[in-house]
Amino acid sequence: MERDNFPRLGARRFAMHQTFDIAHPFAGSFSPLVRRQATLSDAFERSGHSLHSGRYARVRVCPAPAGHGIVFRRRLNTGEAVDVPALWQFRVSQPLSSAIRRDGVLVRTIEHLMASLHALRVDNVLVEIDADELPIFDGSATPWCAAIRDVGRTEQPAPCRVLRMRRTVTVADGRRLIQIGPGLGLHVTGHVALAHFGSLDWSGVITPERFVQEIAPARSFGRYVRAMAGRAYGYAVGEDFLQGVSTRSAALLWRGRVIGGMRVPAEPVRHRILDLVGDLMLVGHPVEGHVAAFHTGHELNHALVRALMREPTAWELV
């Protein structure tokens, strides 16, 4: 939720560049991601209140055949079910979350589940949901990771095609910047600077174990006063905005501390990386490359995905 220390731009204008390469620190020593497609070994169910609507949602995540991808099946009050593929073409802009829409049917706040599937290398699932927004739980991806690990992962006969970078693509919005260049595995370097906190940084290769231990516990975050004001505003105007926000569903910042304490060091930047890993999965394939993200958020993440899809010579599917 936190919009960091830089001023907001009135109209977002994203500049795309291919200006410099990123030296990958694990070149020659880290094995690239070569594997078969995978799905869940069994279905699991989870439920809880959502961040923005505050409403209760029930989710069932099911195994799916090879080549299926990640598809959300929204069950409407009419009894009808609409499938919305988790692909960049269906992405729509929503405040402080990632969302997809098809045939007028919206599914939002998908980023934590998407990040967990991406990092734990699960390619094919059907996600059934009875509301327009996934549960937020405690604001982290740990509940999703635990559910995925509880049921297990099953490899499928088909090979997994990975998007691997051939040259660097950069997207900038003023002083905010995100770029991805050639590299083995998915390596992410993240940076944010927050008032009263200073510079917060994290860098590393996203492996299943490292994601579960170092990234998944990081919660959605925001300034306490802004979050409460946003919730009050949403209630007053009848909009689904931050109606489920509290210290139980987010890391709320008060001056130079997190109420209740940080779960992991530099928790805010780690959560930005969590969101980024989820947003990249809207490419439709696991992503391999070295990402550098400075004050990024969902809008800039999705601008990078769009830039990649419009620059097919910058990458290859292997």
* Dihedral sign computed on CA atoms, order 142, 146, 147, 153: positive
DSSP 8-state class, residue 39: E
Q: Which residue has the tokens 């998007």?
A: 163
Catalytic residue among 24, 187, 295, 298: 298
Residues 6+ apart with CB under 8 A from 178: 170, 171, 172, 276, 291, 292, 293, 294, 296, 300, 301, 303, 304
- Residue 71's alpha-carbon distances to 74, 82, 184, in angstroms, are 10, 10, 27
Alpha-carbon distance of 58 to 44, in angstroms, equals: 11
Residues 282/170, Cβ–Cβ less than 8 Å = no
Residues 69/161, Cβ–Cβ less than 8 Å = no
- Active-site residue flag, 298: yes
Residue type at 272?
Answer: R
Angle at 113 between CA 293 and CA 234, to 5 degrees: 80
Q: For residue 176, give the 3-state DSSP assignment.
A: strand
| β-bridge mates for residue 178, sequence order | 171, 293
Residue 89: name the closest of 297, 310, 300, 316 by CA: 310
Q: Which residue has the tokens 């907001």?
A: 8
Q: For residue 173, give the 3-state DSSP assignment.
A: strand
- Positions marked active-site: 298
